[in-house]
Amino acid sequence: MIDREIGLRPGSRIDCHTHGGGENPYGKFMGEYPFVQSVCDLRFKQLAGGIENTIVFPMPGTYYYRIDRTTKEFWRPSGLMHFPYEVENEALLRDVEIARQLYPEGIIFPFLNIHPTECVGQQIDHLDRLMQKYGFAGLKFHSSGTNVDAEALINTPFIEFMRYYNIPLIVHSGVFKPNAHPRHALLLAYAHPDIRISIAHLAAWDKNILEEIKRLPNLFTDCSPYLANFTSVVKPGHEAFVSPNRFISTFAEAEETLLELIRSLKGKLLWGTDEPWTTYNFDTGELILRITYGDEVKIIEKLYREGYLSEIEDIVNKNPQRFLFGSS
Ligand SMILES: [Zn+2]
């Protein structure tokens, strides 16, 4: 168990969605940026920006699969490991151990990646061993790294694993690819109302899903990467990334819209950056956005300076504690 008893110091801030400990194999082979970040590099950026605590999980992909640069095929076993995320999960935990020694301030909450349908028994045995050896604080599911949707988790032993250790789950979401649609995570949450689930990336701003996140006690969402999310709503050409039935806002200013989200989501919003995906390129060679970790921090600092202390405390401290530990 990780610091469950300690919790977060009042006033200290946590980033609830970051990646580290290795590489995104598919992105590396296909020329997508970013594809790598160590936990030590992440902590350097966070502590320079005054963010003391973090949730961190591996990148979405796994070298369990062979990546064919010619066909872009990704779903045949490579022979490099016995089951998905075998190496990536332990690499993250080892990187976390080093980062804790290098930067002793703050708390790191590692989450480990899971694949709902491939070698599940071996994954569970491994997760049990890693929990005993290192400890970790939650699980992460990404549809692009596994080619399945979150509903596939409903009847798996991962549910009992989370129940046993009282740990939550983060589910990637978006509307660009069908298996990432947030409704899959919603069905998982209906099936297991005692499992705390965060539907990441504002559920692609889908108004109805956000209403359900407010209504169901076990659901949360994170705003990561907030400036990229905001840009996808206001910038022409990004429509494919946003639900057509989107959250109602003027979207005039990033800070104002964040406040509207905090107030609307009433205790369910978690602050997160998706670092290193604060900025990215897909495979075009040009950055789609030019945003840094510091730009994301500036948004919450500006609101804090303007007097929205309790609103910011909710998303960087109070809501995350309820998500992580199941009580306020
Ligand atoms: Zn992410």
Tell me, in angstroms, the distance from the centre of ligand 1 to residue 220's CA: 15
Say whether pLDDT at 214 is over 70: yes
Of the ranges 3-12, 33-42, 164-173, 302-311, which one carries the lowest mean pLDDT score?
A: 3-12
Domains annotated on the chain, with CATH: 14-325 (3.20.20.140)
Mean pLDDT of the chain: 94
Are the beta carbons of 8 and 107 closer than 8 angstroms? yes
Tell me, in angstroms, the distance from the centre of ligand 1 to residue 274's CA: 5
pTM, full prediction: 0.96
Tell me, in angstroms, the distance from the centre of ligand 1 to residue 131's CA: 22
| Confidence at residue 69, expressed as pLDDT on a 0 to 100 scale | 86
Q: List phi, psi (to 5°) of 134.
A: -115, -35
CB atoms < 10 A from the CB of 37, how many? 22
| Confidence at residue 244, expressed as pLDDT on a 0 to 100 scale | 92
**What single string gives the DSSP state of each residue in 182-239?**
HHHHHHHHHH-TTS-EEESGGGGGBHHHHHHHHHSTTEEEE--SHHHHHHHHHSTT-G
Tell me, in angstroms, the distance from the centre of ligand 1 to residue 17's CA: 6
Tell me, in angstroms, the distance from the centre of ligand 1 to residue 39's CA: 14
At 109-161, the pLDDT tens digits run: 999 999 999 999 999 999 999 999 999 999 999 998 899 999 999 999 999 99
Pairing of strands 169-171, 22-23: unpaired
From CA 326, how far away is CA 321, in angstroms rounded?
7
Are the beta carbons of 306 and 62 closer than 8 angstroms? no
From CA 127, how far away is CA 140, in angstroms rounded?
12
Tell me, in angstroms, the distance from the centre of ligand 1 to residue 38's CA: 14
> Which residues touch 236 (CB under 8 Å, ≥6 apart)?
none
Which residue in this structure is represented by tokens 């590489």? 23
Tell me, in angstroms, the distance from the centre of ligand 1 to residue 295's CA: 17
Tell me, in angstroms, the distance from the centre of ligand 1 to residue 286's CA: 20
Tell me, in angstroms, the distance from the centre of ligand 1 to residue 236's CA: 23
Confidence of residue 2 (pLDDT cuts 50, 70, 90): low
Dig out the tokens for 23 from the structure: 């590489």
Of 311, 278, 319, give the one whose Cα is nearest residue 33: 278
Query: What average pLDDT score do residues 314-321 get?
Result: 97
| Confidence at residue 312, expressed as pLDDT on a 0 to 100 scale | 97
| Confidence at residue 5, expressed as pLDDT on a 0 to 100 scale | 55
- The torsion angle over the Cα atoms of residues 311, 314, 315 and 321, rounded to 10 degrees, is 180
Q: At what angle do helices 207-215 and 182-191 cross, to 10 degrees?
A: 20
At 61-88, the pLDDT tens digits run: 999 999 988 888 889 999 999 999 999 9
Tell me, in angstroms, the distance from the centre of ligand 1 to residue 144's CA: 11
Tell me, in angstroms, the distance from the centre of ligand 1 to residue 311's CA: 23
